[in-house]
Structure 1
Amino acid sequence: MHSDIQDVFTQLHIDIARNSTDDFNLFHDPHKWQRINDNPFGGPISLGFQLESLIEGRIARFRAGREEAGLIGQHALHFSNYQFSFANAVKPGQILQVEIKDSQFKAEPEPVLSNRILVKADGNLALMGYKKETAEPLFLPNPNLARIGELKIQPDRCFLPNGFFLKRKFMMTSNAKNFLCASLRDQTEYFDELQDKVEFPEMFPCALLSSALLEKALKWLHDFERNPMVYTSHKISIDRRLLAQLRSNDALHILIKPAQDAAAHDFGDLKATPLDYECYGLFGSVNLVLFRALISLTPLELITKAMHK
């Protein structure tokens, strides 16, 4: 088992992470967190994707130390898959410890390299799950893109004929650098202007999902103060081959819709109902699927009730 060094997110790290991804969730705001109805956290909390970016950096270092790149290349494990459940919020000033269990490789029935991961904040479990390298994505089928037309000419923040909400973002190296710094990582490993080096980290484009989900909620007139939602789990598959093609100013089209079993409910519904969203990040003229994600949210009300049981 590998136990990483101890790290700390300050409020400045949280502010940089939310600013670099346009995340305006009240939970992260040092002033507006107090507006949230029955907020049990007693202050702002870190971003889920910020924590996952920290994990991405730690496991990259872990893989490099064990020279696992050859195994990944030999078996064409082009997809990075993250599967995490959130057990508790991470607050500014808490000591973080990322624990990465020893790598497990299985060749059959399909090759997969996996590691179990735990994150503790001040010694208490905050997140648990897996990072897996596979030849095919583990989560969600390819999206049905019928009747959507050219995404680049569709209005930003619109609902497409096939039910997806569209949010258009642009790959900015400055935002990616800030996001790396906010998650306690070295930006020079990914960007170097003098050498024309541009390598977007895996979690940065995925982190833009938060702002897309928030903007979708705004469209439905969701009340972020009366009915706040929190992440309970993330399941994400990223195509590293396509990630390597991303360049500054490339458009990323994020598509979101409720999962089939959650389609009867959506943002704006005041009922305390967990929601699952199917999310895709597409880019290029032929709508290549850079990432796919199943994002689960639960009303804070249900979390608070569970805490008091």
Structure 2
Amino acid sequence: MHDIHADIFTQLHIDVTRNSTDDFNLFHDSKNWKKIKDNPFQGPITLGFQLESLIEGKMANFRRQADEQALIEEHGLNFSNYQFSFANAIKADQFVEVEVKASQFKNQSEPVLSNRIMVKSNAKLALMGYKKESSQPLYLAEANFSDLGDLRLHADRSFLTSGHFLKRKFMTTSNAKNFLCGSLRDQTEFFDELQDKVGFPEMFPCALLSSALLEKALKSHHDFENNPMVYTSHKISVDRQQLTQLKSNDALHILIKPAEDSAEHDFGEQFSTALDYECYGLVNDNACLFRALISLAPLELIIKSLG
């Protein structure tokens, strides 16, 4: 038993999403996509986090219909985990189908509720992976930032002694609302001024990672036109308890550095190979809101693998 939904992202949805997250990647720009060397997509494409936000909404509906909230609360499954590989790009005005397979619950020492997910566009596989609920983060669980001190004292877009690149963002309700609209979701589920309701969706703070990665690359004088990079996979764990405590205008400190087992080069090198980044979103005295392993590869490598 599984669930299938069909949707369409227009260029306006893409623009609203990239503007709400400060994503200036040329791949999503309705005019400047043409500047990308050997761009095989022949037009602007949707954002990875935009697709994952759509999946977040579909999964929330799935959980409600399956009446799984009691199971999640009973086992303290407070971490929301996303694990996706990107197989193909989705362009504006293409049909998008999200297929959610039946839930699998493993009640072991670390209980996990899991669903396999496939996203197709015009009948072609675009994204595949899993959405999992767990009692502990499934990725980068050992990370600890209690000794970093007050990150507000460090300059935005600076490098810390720990080796992390620091990007400071703020949780603004207007951007979160636009992000929801751009990912085909109902903002009233999270925001209602008359009822004094303010809640942020899981994927919104994570989506700010894109602008942080782009700004890190910009600081390294990366050539976005001649050496474009694309996502190959995302592995993300979100702490829902921290998420519920977020308030409007709270600071979000995003930390990024290459993974320890990744190649010894950075995003800005001209002939860079595939690279994994460890990324963290810290709030409220360095509590970890999200942890993410983000894998990037040069477009030329992707084209070669497809050829």
Same fold (TM over 0.5): yes
> Do the aligned partners of 1:147 and 1:162 also contact (CA within 8 Å) in 2?
no
**Match of 1:179?**
179
Cα distance in structure 1, aligned partners of 2:147 and 2:243: 26
Paired residue secondary structure (1:77): coil
Q: CA offsets per residue over residues 163-217 of structure 1, 9 Å max, x none? A: 0000000000000000000000000001000111111000000000000000000
Structure 2 SS opposite 1:260: coil
Cα offsets for 1:18-47 (capped at 9, x unmatched) = 000000000000011000010000000000
SS of the counterpart of 1:304?
Answer: helix
**Within-5 A mapping of 1:281-292:** 281-284=281-284, 286-292=285-291
Distance (Å, rounded) in 1 between the aligned partners of 2:5 and 2:98: 8
| Deviation of the 1:143 alpha carbon | 3.0
* Aligned equivalents of 1:116, 1:143: Cα separation in 2: 27
Q: CA deviation at 1:142?
A: 3.7
1:101 and 1:183 mapped to 2: Cα distance? 21
Deviation (angstroms), 1:144: 4.8
Is contact 1:9–1:94 with CA below 8 Å preserved after alignment?
yes
CA contact (8 A) 2:169 2:251 kept: yes
The SS at the match of 2:236 is strand
1:145 and 1:162 in contact (8 A); partners too: no
Distance apart, 1:146 and its partner CA:
7.2
**What is aligned with 2:128?**
128
Q: What aligned pairs does 1:216-255 form with structure 2 within 5 A after superposition?
A: 216-255=216-255
The CA RMSD over aligned residues, in Å, is 1.1
Structure 1 contact 146–162 (Cα < 8 Å) conserved:
no
Is the Cα contact below 8 Å between 2:110 and 2:136 reproduced in 1?
A: no
How many residue pairs were aligned?
307
In structure 2, the residue corresponding to 1:266 is in which secondary structure?
coil
Distance in 1, Cα, partners of 2:163 & 2:263? 10
Alpha-carbon distance, 1:263 to partner: 5.2
Structure-1 residue corresponding to 2:200? 200
Partner of 2:59: 59
* Aligned counterpart, 1:297: 296
In the alignment, residue 177 of structure 1 is paired with which amino acid? K
Cα 1:3/1:45, change in 2 over 3 Å: same
Query: Which 4+ stretches in 1 moved above 6 angstroms?
Result: none
Deviation at 1:141, TM superposition (A): 3.1
- Structure 2: gaps spanning 5 or more residues: none
Give 1:24's aligned residue: 24
